Structure 1
């Protein structure tokens, strides 16, 4: 495994020194707590030469094909400090493979929390963005059953934290606990552009502002969460000037090409809603999530979902998960006139539009073995069914999505917390 974690590890140590009044983690007093987690994973990223398995769009598929440990391996450290009766501070740093340019890209959380009373609190800084059931612990592999969360729902949105303000209210009892929060802030992240592996360009998106709200209810056996979010994106594309020149040269021969360029570089708004539920009793576990998104950008709209069933036999937890993703086919362009010589360009545009549309389903079968305290081994195999004229998180090298496909990848991981 490549030494891709050297820079983040430096910041793990720096976070300890900055956040703690002590000189080492072993001498922290009762007001400070240090916890950590890790995953060493191995995924069949190079099993097929035409398509690549990815965990999310944070990851550059070109790199994953060269190193099967990159997809799921990660290490994290969290420091939590109680400053006074009302003030707390939390910082978390993640060392994982992702498209990142700056040290701050590895800081997942770093926020202050003010507790007004037993019900109301205010948090300021970089903190979890509540889009998913696992938003608070998405990177902590030990906390969930799979090697990686279902990619149909968790893979396509590359945002797990935001910079801003969150207001939270908690009430109820241990048997029936409620919480509600509302957030406002901004997000910036990098992802692999388009859907082709051979294109060396990565893009940056900035969502500013973002608005989110969540309500959560939990009992002894049930947990239900509902989320809504509105994200206003600003596109930051390094090649925008080249696109402008291309538009000026092509538009006289293909008038609708101006709309093509505008659609791919314009700012856009994403409207997102999700609901998730989990039930656990007598060794059984059933968990499901369903999300709807609607965006002004190309074909990025539709539904995502998964349904997960597991049953524990002492230290063993076998499971089956069904995944689903569907986007509409509503975004079309008028083709160029016959004889214009632009048929190849039109085909490339069509393939790029298709790459943003996800129409697929999957079946995952796996088992988790809790062989020691706070340590687990997992293995799972995912069989994906990709529909024709539909892209996917698991991109093709040639960016051609004109036929139905079926692919199977298997993965293993060792997860721990301390």
Structure 2
């Protein structure tokens, strides 16, 4: 993206700079159509043309209340949720100093390089941010954050520390469960100089997935002498979860390079860890950007799966089979390629086209997806 276009997108996605007292409105929209190859399903799309999965419409209102206090609210309607409207952001801000701002309320969790404008497709080259890296259930939280801007050598830098909690719906095997993120705390650091941006983040939280079936399964193992530990690993209650992210962006002349790596580590749950990365390279031809992305996602299963007591008794075999399915419900080993183009035909709108191929090394099944999008800020 050209810097002028990125600045416009940020203006639409982030709070205003408290320059005026009246209420100000901004918004953005992504209208996306997608179709997977025959018989395939990929990233929420199947082999029928789908206009809802990645489409959304958002409106943001901001106001300056004076003496450094501001208020921001953002509502979003997503096609995948049948266009139901929900509050994405709702917070008050206070400028403690010229370089330090405090936010209180519902806000974006600064996990990734593009967290601040995660839903604003106009602000980045892809139609949606790369899968795997950007699929953590925790994308926002209710709480407090402090953002401080400073200079570090020749780098314009910012650090954000935050604390809060969040609940979210998560699909477990074949039903939805409300997840709980308690005592979320973390910090992110961004360094920027000319054409180079470096970023890192660290987050820790107590994660719970209070599923009735998993609780019953855990209790069954705790009643079997010598296998009580399996019950602890299969039950998701206040599991200490750690998240780390590293990112880089090089925007030099007509060349664009972006890369991010994330690592999620669980203390005691069916998954041991999740590792994801992507690298994107692109080149601009005037107002046309052509880009290629490679991504890789690997979710490792808890080692306790190797200690399930198969072959001892029929009753244990049945219990072990069910438990193995629970352990593997988020197992993943896949890679994908995305070839795309972005045409900035208007000062506040762009047309995007992408072809993605997903290769699943666990199922040995590959799938293909074609998407096109009209994205805008206003």
Q: Provide the TM-score with structure 1 as the length reference.
A: 0.77
Indicate which of 91, 97, 111 corresponds to 1:117: 97
Q: Which residue of 2 aligns with 1:5?
A: none
Matched, 1:71 2:53: yes
Matched, 1:356 2:330: yes
Quote how far apart the aligned CAs of 1:172 are: 2.7
Cα distance per residue 1:332-383 (max 9 Å; x no partner): 1423444515545533432332232221111111111111221111111111
Task: Check 1:374–1:254 CA distance in 2 against 1; reply closer, same or farther (3 A cut).
Answer: farther
State the secondary structure of the residue aligned to 1:154: coil
Give the 5 Å matches for 1:18-417: 31-44=22-35, 47=37, 49=39, 52-54=41-43, 68-97=50-79, 106-155=86-135, 157-172=136-151, 176-194=155-173, 199=174, 201-237=175-211, 240=212, 256=227, 259-260=230-231, 263-296=234-267, 297-331=269-303, 332=305, 333-340=307-314, 343=317, 346-388=320-362, 403-417=363-377
Quote how far apart the aligned CAs of 1:128 are: 1.3
**RMSD between superposed Cα atoms in Å:** 2.9
Quote how far apart the aligned CAs of 1:243 are: 5.3
Task: Check 1:252–1:66 CA distance in 2 against 1; reply closer, same or farther (3 A cut).
Answer: farther
Q: Distance in 2 between matches of 1:67 and 1:364?
A: 19
Task: Check 1:149–1:79 CA distance in 2 against 1; reply closer, same or farther (3 A cut).
Answer: same
Q: Provide the TM-score with structure 2 as the length reference.
A: 0.85
Structure 2, unaligned runs of 5 or more: 1-19
Q: Distance in 2 between matches of 1:377 and 1:205?
A: 36
Q: Distance in 1 between matches of 2:50 and 2:263?
A: 32
Is the CA contact 1:247–1:258 (under 8 Å) kept in the aligned structure 2? no
Quote how far apart the aligned CAs of 1:135 are: 0.5
Q: Which has the higher strand share?
A: 2
Quote how far apart the aligned CAs of 1:78 are: 0.8
Task: Check 1:262–1:228 CA distance in 2 against 1; reply closer, same or farther (3 A cut).
Answer: closer
Structure 1, unaligned runs of 5 or more: 1-28, 56-60, 389-402
Q: Which residue of 2 aligns with 1:20?
A: none
Is the CA contact 2:110–2:188 (under 8 Å) kept in the aligned structure 1? yes
Q: Distance in 2 between matches of 1:138 and 1:76?
A: 12
Is the CA contact 1:174–1:219 (under 8 Å) kept in the aligned structure 2? no
Q: Which residue of 1 aligns with 2:15?
A: none
Quote how far apart the aligned CAs of 1:191 are: 1.9
Task: Check 1:38–1:120 CA distance in 2 against 1; reply closer, same or farther (3 A cut).
Answer: same
State the secondary structure of the residue aligned to 2:66: coil
Q: Distance in 2 between matches of 1:81 and 1:30?
A: 6
Quote how far apart the aligned CAs of 1:328 are: 3.1
Q: Distance in 2 between matches of 1:262 and 1:173?
A: 44
Quote how far apart the aligned CAs of 1:212 are: 1.0
